[in-house]
A = this chain, B = another copy of it.
Amino acid sequence: MKVFKSEELSHQELAQLCERNPLREKSIVDLCQEIFENVAARGDEAVREYTKTYDGVDLEDFRVDVAEFQKAVDQQPRKVIEAFETAIRNIRKFHLSQNLAEQPVEVQPGVTCWRASRPIGSVGLYVPAGTAVLPSTVLMLGVPAKLAGCPKIQLCVPPRKDGSVSPLVLAAAYLSGIRQVYKIGGAQAVAAMTLGTENVRPVDKILGPGNRFVQTAKLVATSYGVAIDMVAGPSEVLVIVDQEATPRIVAADLIAQAEHGADSQVVLVTDSYPLIEAVNAELEDQLGSLPRRELARASIEQSFAMLVGSMDEAVEFSNRYAPEHLILGMVEARKWVGKVRCAGSVFVGEWSPEVAGDYASGTNHTLPTSRLARNSSGVSLDSFVNKVTFQELTREGLEDLAPALETLAEVESLEGHARAVRYRLSREEEVRE
């Protein structure tokens, strides 16, 4: 990996290193718009054509039937089912902890306000099928959707050339409680879930990772009033370590990210130059025997190590970079937790590999990338609910609040607003007269 020394970089060069390209390639936006228009006009027929073009398979029926599900679950070895079950249990447990009931507040006598969660009626999950099969993503989306109580959950996954979909994905869906799976991929899946077709039900919100086409299609979906989790770019990790770190483990953590794809971003930040050298040697060594070495190598070649003067500076750089995953691998890592401001998910200390969160510790792995961790959060139970505010006033509550309400209505020149208060309070007096 390239090595930069922070002290030799200008403010602007540092900022540049933190930039990742957001999605606004006009050609892709235009293509997605066209796909939406076609799916709107011709429904399943258009989806069928795109599936033929992009996935190379002519599918009559996109739906996965019960027998296919059953077969997918049955063919999994016991240890796979157990691994899924461990992950599901931990994901449920952690996401359940996000379900805190807010108590009603009597903000002033007779004025009570509260907020309550309501599951989103219909959610569409997307799981890609690119260079890796990702059943773990099914769990990360399906488990919190079920936990939130979303009544309708459907999943789209691109079909394979033979018209099937990965049994691992189906088994993960089944164990998560999902029963509606469509063999549709790419922008056409997002369009179908946004607009609805003869066979695909339109949804309220679409969540899940995917390539540039899928993510751009999600952006287009928002212009049709469908909500999305986020626009996700390539996966990222930033590792902060000091001289005490074990190069072999640091290299393994970087490679675990790099093997996702050639565009994965891996960044090493440390105050130890010898460590960078040792990690670089380890990278070479480990890459040699890695099955996905070509992807990992391509990723690492365009990644970098940053030599900083202190751990304080390391964490500050990380906050600017706003990585999807942050590994705090320095000595006494826990002490730095409070300084982390911008990151999707943070792995604290030497025994916390990112892989734990990728799969089974319970945290969600659908996280903001491309510096969006500075303004967005990962998928959580919140992603599957609307939070509705309520208020109930008593007559006395309204009376006490009335002067403020009428004054504000007056300064905003909204007489109708004032009347809605005044007419209520004058009602009983009129009756009494």
The interface of chain A, by Cβ under 8 A from chain B, is 22-24, 79-80, 82-84, 86-87, 89-90, 93-94, 97-98, 100, 102-103, 105, 107-108, 111, 113-115, 118-121, 132-136, 168, 204-205, 219, 222-227, 231, 246, 248-249, 252-253, 255-256, 258-260, 286, 290-292, 296, 333-334, 337, 340-364, 370-378, 380, 382, 386-395, 397-398, 401, 403-405, 407-409, 411-421, 423-424, 427
9 contacts between A and B (CB under 8 A): A89-B107, A90-B108, A113-B363, A115-B380, A340-B388, A349-B392, A355-B417, A360-B401, A363-B391
> Complex formed: what's the CA distance from A404 to B81 in Å?
9
- Which residues on B sit within 8 Å (CB–CB) of A373? 386, 388
> Complex formed: what's the CA distance from A89 to B114 in Å?
16
> Complex formed: what's the CA distance from A119 to B342 in Å?
9
Contact of A362 among B82, B111, B132, B255 (CB under 8 A): B111
Cβ A222 vs Cβ B219 within 8 A: yes
Cβ B387 vs Cβ A223 within 8 A: no
CB distance from A329 to the nearest CB of B (A): 11
> Complex formed: what's the CA distance from A86 to B406 in Å?
12
7 closest A-B pairs by beta carbon, nearest first, are A227-B375, A83-B407, A86-B404, A204-B375, A259-B416, A348-B392, A83-B404
- Which residues on B sit within 8 Å (CB–CB) of A296? 416
- Which residues on B sit within 8 Å (CB–CB) of A119? 341
Contact of A419 among B252, B413, B421, B423 (CB under 8 A): B252
CB distance from A4 to the nearest CB of B (A): 22
> Complex formed: what's the CA distance from A252 to B414 in Å?
12
CB distance from A14 to the nearest CB of B (A): 16
Cβ B398 vs Cβ A351 within 8 A: yes
Look across to chain B and name the residue whose beta carbon is closest to the beta carbon of A362.
Answer: B107
User: Given A90-B107, A102-B97, A397-B351: A374 and B404 within 8 A (CB)?
Assistant: no
Cβ A337 vs Cβ B390 within 8 A: yes
Cβ B394 vs Cβ A351 within 8 A: yes
> Complex formed: what's the CA distance from A388 to B322 in Å?
11
User: Given A121-B374, A392-B334: A103 and B108 within 8 A (CB)?
Assistant: no
> Complex formed: what's the CA distance from A359 to B227 in Å?
28
- Which residues on B sit within 8 Å (CB–CB) of A333? 392
